[in-house]
């Protein structure tokens, strides 16, 4: 058998030496493998959960989300499909705007900074966040819940850039690509597109700063697209190309990858592969108890504090309910300060402590009235999970 130590040694690139035992985390993925090494080896990043070294996949530890609703840049998760430059000269960087426009543009960062500044706080969440929890299990990056982060994004409205170029009547979509490149000729370059009205909605933006600082290289320095309320697959990193299209984008990353069942909950019966598909888009509400870890063993308290973070998806958080008994009874949580409808929002509640095992749950409702379901969705990509999650704790 590949035991846990051998496995960790294999994935961490370290000798299986007890003298160099390294910190690991257990993501509690049903059926495993569940252990992951922590890493501090990545530039501009603090201690992250290592999912893959090349191209990097780094997950944020859940404890980070208990410290505040803003995820620090050095702890914001990382996900790359292809190879990308490790050296970027911001003085030489240019954003090209072309396609169906009156005036093609080549904009420097100074040009962008000179445009009206726009800021928004928004959750950046991988389409496959929590995929490792999906049952029956599916192939793909086996994330826990930490392929997400919340930041204050600073930059310019995409609309302002498109209006400077002058979108031609008849344009239907806007495609974005970055400095990342496939390692193999003919492989599909990563590019995503939005409908032209969405692209010009005044909220979709080009961010040159994140929580007041330039973006870490691994999060898309010097410029990334921010699509509030939509999954991160659209938030193109190191974006250097904007192309206005007069027909829908039929490229691989829009027409073949990141497809979900064409129904409101992205749900099909487990095992189904033949179903009507559509590109993943807006996010549904989610919530996570962060004041205790799954599997925690705690001292008994008659009044047990339970806190965490919620997101409304593409509308704000209306409310969060907490259950300490596996969903039989619920209490309304108190919401923390509102940082905008696309942000995480803190919640806190108190439930009755019980000696022995407890199943703690949080359930968020957004301003559109969507509520997290008690039953999980399933699709073969493991996308768009938003079931009510359970924290198993034991009080003694």
Partner 1 sequence: MRCLVLGAAVLAVGAGAAPVFRALDVELPFNARMYPALGRGAPPPEAINNNCLACHSIELVMTQPKLTRPEWTAEVTKMRSTYKAPVDPADDAAIIEWLVAMSAKTTG
Binding region for partner 1 (CB under 8 A): 1-2, 6-7, 10-13, 29-34, 36, 39, 41-44, 50-57, 73-74, 86-91, 109, 113, 117, 132, 137-139, 141-142, 154, 182-188, 208-209, 211-214, 217, 221-222, 252, 256
Nearer to partner 1, 20 or 256 (CB): 256
Distance (Å, whole) CA 249 – CA 185: 21
Q: How far is the CB of 320 from partner 1 (least distance, A)?
A: 30
Locate 191 and state its tokens. Answer: 């590019």
Nearer to partner 1, 104 or 270 (CB): 270
Q: How far is the CB of 136 from partner 1 (least distance, A)?
A: 9
Q: How far is the CB of 107 from partner 1 (least distance, A)?
A: 14
Cβ 51 vs Cβ 57: under 8 Å: yes
Nearer to partner 1, 1 or 299 (CB): 1
Nearer to partner 1, 128 or 324 (CB): 128
Q: Hey, CA dihedral for 278, 281, 285, 290, is it positive or negative?
A: positive
Nearer to partner 1, 21 or 213 (CB): 213
Q: How far is the CB of 24 from partner 1 (least distance, A)?
A: 12
Nearer to partner 1, 92 or 302 (CB): 92
Please give the helix or strand (H or E) that residue 261 lies within, else none. strand 259-261
Q: How far is the CB of 184 from partner 1 (least distance, A)?
A: 4
Q: How far is the CB of 358 from partner 1 (least distance, A)?
A: 22
Distance (Å, whole) CA 359 – CA 374: 13
| Residue 340 buriedness (CB in 10 A; 0-12 / 13-18 / 19+) | middle
* DSSP state string for 324-361: SBTTSS-EEPEE-----TTS-EEEEEEEE--SEEEEEE
Candidates 213, 208, 210; CA nearest to 239 is 208
Question: What residues contact residue 370 under an 8 Å CB cut-off, 6+ apart?
Answer: 284, 285, 313, 315
Locate 256 and state its tokens. Answer: 């073949």
Nearer to partner 1, 58 or 317 (CB): 58
Q: How far is the CB of 180 from partner 1 (least distance, A)?
A: 13
């Amino acid at each position: 058998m590949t035991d846990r130590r051998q496995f960790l040694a294999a994935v961490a690139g370290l000798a299986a030496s007890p003298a160099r035992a390294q910190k690991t985390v257990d993501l509690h993925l049903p059926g495993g493998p569940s252990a992951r090494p922590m890493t501090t080896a990545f530039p501009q990043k603090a201690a992250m959960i290592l999912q893959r070294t090349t191209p990097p996949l780094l997950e944020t530890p859940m404890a980070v989300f208990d410290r505040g609703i803003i995820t620090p840049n050095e702890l914001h998760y990382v996900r790359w499909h292809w190879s990308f430059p490790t050296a970027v000269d911001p003085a030489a960087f240019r954003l090209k705007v072309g396609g169906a426009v009156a005036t093609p543009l080549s904009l420097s960062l100074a040009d962008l900074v000179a445009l009206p500044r726009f800021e928004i706080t928004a959750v950046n969440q991988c389409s496959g966040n929590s995929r490792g929890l999906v049952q029956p299990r599916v192939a793909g990056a086996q994330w826990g819940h930490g392929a997400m982060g919340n930041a204050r994004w600073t930059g310019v409205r995409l609309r302002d850039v498109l209006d400077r170029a002058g979108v031609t009547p008849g344009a239907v979509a806007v495609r974005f690509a970055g400095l990342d490149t496939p390692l193999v000729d003919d492989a599909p370059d990563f590019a995503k597109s939005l409908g032209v009205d969405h692209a010009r909605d005044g909220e979709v933006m080009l961010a040159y700063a994140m929580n007041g600082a330039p973006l870490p290289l691994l999060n898309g320095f010097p410029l990334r697209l921010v699509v509030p309320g939509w999954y991160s697959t659209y938030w193109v990193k190191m974006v250097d190309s904007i192309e206005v299209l007069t027909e829908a984008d039929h490229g691989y990353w829009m027409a073949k990858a990141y497809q979900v069942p064409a129904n409101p909950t992205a749900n099909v019966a487990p095992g189904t592969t033949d179903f009507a598909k559509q590109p993943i888009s807006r996010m549904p509400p989610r919530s996570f108890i962060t004041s205790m870890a799954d599997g925690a063993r705690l001292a008994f308290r008659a009044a047990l504090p339970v806190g965490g973070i919620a997101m409304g998806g593409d509308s704000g958080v209306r409310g969060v309910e907490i259950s300490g008994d596996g969903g039989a009874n619920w209490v309304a949580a108190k919401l923390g300060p509102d940082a905008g409808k696309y942000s995480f929002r803190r919640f806190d509640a108190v439930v009755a402590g019980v000696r022995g095992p407890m199943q703690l749950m949080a359930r968020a409702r957004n301003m559109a009235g969507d509520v997290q379901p008690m039953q999980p969705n399933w699709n073969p990509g493991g996308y768009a999970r938003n079931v009510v999650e359970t924290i198993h704790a034991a009080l003694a």
